[in-house]
Each structure stands twice: as structure tokens, then as C-alpha cells.
A and B are shown apart, each in its own frame.
Chain A
Amino acid sequence: MLLYILKRIVYVAPVALGVSLVCFMLVHLAPGDPLTAIMPVDATAEQQAEMRTIYGFDRPLPVQFGIWLGKVLTGDLGVSIATGRPVLGEVARAVKNSLILAAVATLIGFALGSFFGFVAGYFRNSVMDRLASAVSVLGVSVPHYWLGMVMVIIFSAQLNWLPPTGAGPGGSADWRPDFEHLRYIILPAITMSVIPMGIIARTVRALVADILSQEFVQALRAKGLGEWGVFKHVVTNAAPTALAVMGLQLGYLLGGSILIETVFAWPGAGFLLNAAIFQRDLPLLQGTILVLAMFFVSLNLIVDVAQTALDPRIQRA
């Protein structure tokens, strides 16, 4: 097991290096000089050259990458051009808010998705199965930013039950687990949960149908085990894969939250990324994407290892 974990880490290292290279190159993909956005229009050529030296943009790209990577490894993600504050602090606060939202959404999605998936897998080709399939197709086909708008229209504009935007009263930038803040997370979390719900429902349905058709289930029934006992076996067999899908979905939601966070003005990483893009704050853009991508890579690693720990049959090379 330990050897397996080490193997996975060795395998992930080059991917992580590649990810940081992509994040680094993002800034240089941008048309023009990364500094043009913040330079005063009337800056002289000398002033521009000076700024370039300060930020290190005058050196060859591989050297810049080396220096940047060295800083990143020590936790220095540079300074936001727009606010002048360290990128790491800004990103950490935003990622915390995103993580809360994504985690709540994943849990809702997992609970509902497993329920639909189990019912559909148990009663193949019944009305419930069709309903569950419909729910999962709807979940993966709906433009979630539009669903968010529809939720706001119904529950905020029309019924006036829940606040339309923000993470807390008075533009609170930090989410806390109290009643007032809870009201703010309901709409974005439900909107976001639709995607993992559809995917988990589809996965669990296939898993349950597959497990039920296997010989050991027949053997269990032949031995006289009741439906409840068989159900427990099905759950144990479906759990590793279902949990792995859930873990990956958390990563997808965290990285893909930008659209929903924009709709609900949720002060998370996506919202920060949006701000970074429109202020052309490239260090902030780079830092946010790097942190989110690295989070996703680590999550993949954890899911892989956890899945193997839960179910040794699926150990991969």
C-alpha cells in the first residue's frame, strides 16, 4: 500500500510540474506586455523598462519560469497588480469560501444522486428508473448559470424567501455556519448540486444494476439472506466508486464554480478569477488558477489512494 502511494506521488509530480508550466505560460499567452494594463498611458520608455526589470519580465522565459517556480514552492505567489496585496492571502480567503460552497453542493448532490441512482438501479425500466434517468440528463444538460438565475427569479424576486446574492448579511465576505449565513448558501448550493447529482445518479444506477446481476448476489439470496442484507452488500460494493466520483466532483465544482459564483456574487475563487480577468491582474489570475488546479491534482491523488484503500481489487499500476 505504501509503495502504491509512493508510486502515485512519483507519477503525479511531472503532472504538477506541467500544470505550473501551463499556469506560468498563461501570462505570456496574453497579447502585449503583461504590464501594459497597469502602466499609465503616458509612461516613458525608460519607466516601462524599469517596471519590466522590477517584475523580472526582461529575462529569458525559462529563467523567469525557474525563478517563479522557486517562489511558488516557498508559498510566494507574487503580488496582485490591482490591489498590491500578496496573491496567496487573497486566494486563500476566496478558496475557503469556494470550498464551503462546493462541499455543501457536493453533499446535496451525492445524497440526491445516490438516492435516484439506487432506486433506478433496483427497479430497472420502471417509472422511477425513467424519472431518475430524466433527472440525470437534466442535471448534466442544464446551463447552471441559467438555473441560478431562475432560482433567484423564483425564490428571491417572486417569493422573496431567500437573499439573491452574497455570502452573508451586509456583504459579509466570510461565510460562517450560523442561521443568517445559512440562508445565503441555500440557493447557490442547490444550483451547484445539480451537476454532481446527475453524474452520481448515472454512475450509481450503472453500479447497482451491475452488482445486482452478479453471481454473488444470487448466492446470497439462495442462502436465504433478506432484501435488507443484500442491500447492505450492494452498498458496500458500490461505495468505493461512488465516493471516488463524489471526490472528483468536488474538485470540478471548485474549479468550475466561477459561473455560479458570478451569478450569486459569492466571494469565492471563481469570483476572484473573474475580477482578475477584467482588471487584467495577471499575477492574481495565475495564482488563482494554480491553486485551484493544484487542489484538483491533489484531490485526484487522494481519491485514487482512498479508492484503493477501500477496494484493493482496483489497484492500478
Chain B
Amino acid sequence: MAAIADSVALEPAPTKPSRGYWGSVLQRLRRDPVAMVALGVILLIVLAAVFAPWIAPADPFKGSMIRRLRPIGTPGYPLGSDELGRDMLSRLLYGGRLSLFLGVMPVILAFGIGSTIGIVAGYLGGWINTVTMRTIDVFFAFPSVLLAIALSGALGAGILNSIVSLTVVFVPQIARVAESVTTQIRTRDYVEAARISGAGGFTIVRVHVLGNVLGPIFVYATSLISVSMILASGLSFLGLGVRPPEPEWGLMLNTLRTAIYNQPLVAALPGAMIFLTSISFNLFSDGLRSAMEVRQ
């Protein structure tokens, strides 16, 4: 794609400047109403989490034993109160901080590690590729949920362990995509041409490979955020991630399970937040995929 954009730029200057590849991606994305709404929701959730200390009406840790499990719409408790009498709205706002961090961080880490492994294995080929990809096959032999839970279970509960486990789950998936894209690019004529004209391995990777493979890997990584959000909150839901009294959507959902008979709507709220975030990331990723014309 980048190669095509370059050749377009070399043509005699058009009256209207060419947008280039990323410009046209942005334009296609802007014309996709679903992706734009999803992006809007994501931004709203992120901003709400970032500015939680300023917009939250109450202290998310301060409870009241006589004001437990108030329904939605109670004066002073717009979204009700939880099983320890803490304000739900404030806890949901604050909860976004940890939930988003725990969901997005593993994908970012796995994007860095996985693409490096995949690009190196794909570019070098030969036995290094075989050994790397066969090792990765081993991790594909575990369903992701099982691997995440097994690793966190063995490492013990905690925020760091939860991030480590999910990163380990996503690295092989990203590495496999990176390897297959790199292997395709490596045999292209322009890479061959660069090699013949004396370009070193590092230069080829930097100029010709990275520009062409990072896009598809990035799109794939964004599609993982939705899964990662569900898994990260799931780990906390099982008691393997965040520890109480920290506000986090998965953990809140777990502690509110006892309230499903008294305040079912309040009990379901944290899960609805996970759902909203996850579906927004999914829809945005779908939009990005078609805007970047990456084939699955």
C-alpha cells in the first residue's frame, strides 16, 4: 500500500494534492457512521475514566452501612448504591480506569512483542522461523480463556499478573499474523530489488517491510482489545485480577452477584459497561479493517 502511495506522489503535481494512504483511510473511516459512533463511545468512556476524580459525585471507596443497595434514581445516588453502600455512579466512573488499563495494556504489550517476534521470524525464514512458529503452535493448543486463567491461577491474583497472563495469551496470536504478512512481503519484487541494489537487512525491514506489515497487524491488534477487555474483567470477576475494595467493573460484577434478588438493575450495571466498551471496540475495529482494506 505504501509503495503504491509513493508512486502516486511521484506523478506530476495534480491540481489537488493527493491525500496519501492514511489520508484516504481517515476519509473512508469518517464516512462509516457505525465506526464513528463506536469511536465516540470509546472516547466518552476513556474521558469519563480519566476525569473520574473531577466528575464523580462521591468518593468511590466511602460506603454507608445504612444506605446499602439503593435503587437507581435514589436522591444522592443517581445509579443506586452497591452492597457496601458506595455510590455506583462514582464507582463505575472510577472503575473504567482499571478496567480499560487492564484490557488495553496487554494488547499494547503483545503488539510490541508479538510483531517483533513475527517480523523477525518471517523475514529471516529458515530454521529460526520453523522453531519460532512451532513454539507458537503450542500456545495455540490452549483455548485463550483457559490459558489466561491457568497462568493467572498459577501466578496468583494481582494487577501485574493479570496483565502478564493476558500478554502471554495475545503474543502468539499477533506473532502469527505478523509472520504470515511478513513472509508474503519478503518475496515481493521490490524487496528483491532493494536487496540487489545493496540494501542491508535492517534497512529493508525498516523501509519496505514495516510500512507494509504494521497496518494489518495493527488492525488485528485492535480487534483483540474487545476480547482482552472481556477476559481482563473476567479474571477480576473470578477473583484473579484486581483485589477489593478497588473499583473495577469485573470485580464489581462479582461482589454484586449477591444483590441480584434485591437490586437486579444495579447488579447488572458493571457488566453493561464491559459490554458497551467491548462492542464499541469491536465495531470500531471492523470499521478500521474495511477502511484500511485489510482482508481477513
Contact = CB atoms under 8 A, between A and B. Distances in A.
B268 to A, nearest CB: 6
B191 interface: no
B150 interface: yes
A259 B267 contact: no
Nearest to A274: B238
B143 A255 contact: yes
Interface stretch (B55-63, B131-139, B204-212): B131-139
Contacts of A137: 279, 282-283, 286
A252 B38 CA distance: 28
Contacts of A277: 149, 153, 238, 240
B260 A19 contact: no
Contacts of B267: 149, 153
Interface in B215-271: 226, 230, 233-234, 237-240, 253, 257, 260-261, 264, 267-268, 270-271
B151 A153 contact: no
29 contacts: A18-B137, A19-B141, A26-B151, A26-B154, A27-B154, A138-B279, A140-B226, A141-B230, A141-B278, A143-B234, A143-B271, A144-B230, A145-B237, A145-B253, A146-B268, A146-B272, A146-B274, A150-B268, A255-B146, A256-B145, A258-B146, A258-B238, A259-B237, A273-B149, A277-B149, A278-B239, A285-B153, A292-B146, A297-B141
Contacts of B135: 18
A149 B271 CA distance: 9
A149 B283 CA distance: 24
Given A141-B278, A143-B271, A149-B271, 8 more contacts: A137-B283, A141-B230, A146-B272, A147-B271, A153-B260, A153-B264, A256-B144, A285-B153
A278 B238 CA distance: 10
A247 interface: no
A254 B239 CA distance: 21
B261 A157 contact: yes
A300 interface: yes
A108 B264 CA distance: 27
B143 A30 contact: no
Nearest to B269: A146
Nearest to B286: A137
A259 to B, nearest CB: 5
Given A146-B268, A158-B264, A259 B141 contact: no
Contacts of B151: 26, 29
Contacts of A75: none
Nearest to A282: B154
Interface in A218-239: none
7 A-B pairs with the lowest CB-CB distances in the bound complex, closest first = A146-B271, A255-B143, A18-B138, A256-B145, A255-B146, A277-B153, A141-B279
A95 interface: no
Interface of A: 14-16, 18-19, 21-22, 26-27, 29-31, 137-138, 140-147, 149-150, 152-153, 157-158, 251-252, 254-256, 258-259, 262-263, 273-274, 276-278, 282, 285, 289, 292-293, 296-297, 300
Contacts of B261: 157
Nearest to A263: B257
Contact of A19 (B142, B144, B155): B142
Contacts of B275: 141-143, 146
Query: Secondary structure at chain B's binding surface: helix, strand, loop or mixed?
Result: helix
Contacts of B141: 15-16, 18-19, 293, 296-297, 300
Interface of A is mostly: helix
A252 B143 contact: yes
Nearest to A164: B260
A143 B274 contact: yes
B285 to A, nearest CB: 10
Contacts of B145: 252, 255-256, 258-259
B257 A149 contact: yes
Given A146-B268, A149-B267, A153-B268, A296 B142 contact: yes
Nearest to B153: A277
B156 interface: yes
Q: Which of B238, B282, B286 has the most CB of A within 10 A?
A: B238
Given A146-B268, A255-B143, A285-B154, A141 B282 contact: yes
Nearest to A154: B264
B268 A26 contact: no
B237 to A, nearest CB: 6
A9 to B, nearest CB: 14
Nearest to A133: B286
B153 A149 contact: no
A134 to B, nearest CB: 10
A147 B278 CA distance: 13
A98 B153 CA distance: 20
Contacts of B226: 140-141
A81 B24 CA distance: 61
A72 to B, nearest CB: 15
B277 to A, nearest CB: 9
Contacts of A297: 141
Nearest to A31: B156
Contacts of B139: 22
Contact of A145 (B146, B156, B234, B279): B234
Contacts of B154: 26-27, 29-30, 282, 285
Given A19-B141, A19-B142, A143 B230 contact: yes
B143 A149 contact: no
Contact of A157 (B138, B260, B283, B286): B260
Q: Count chain B CB atoms within 10 A of each CB in A143, A144, A157, A251 and give the residue with the most.
A: A143
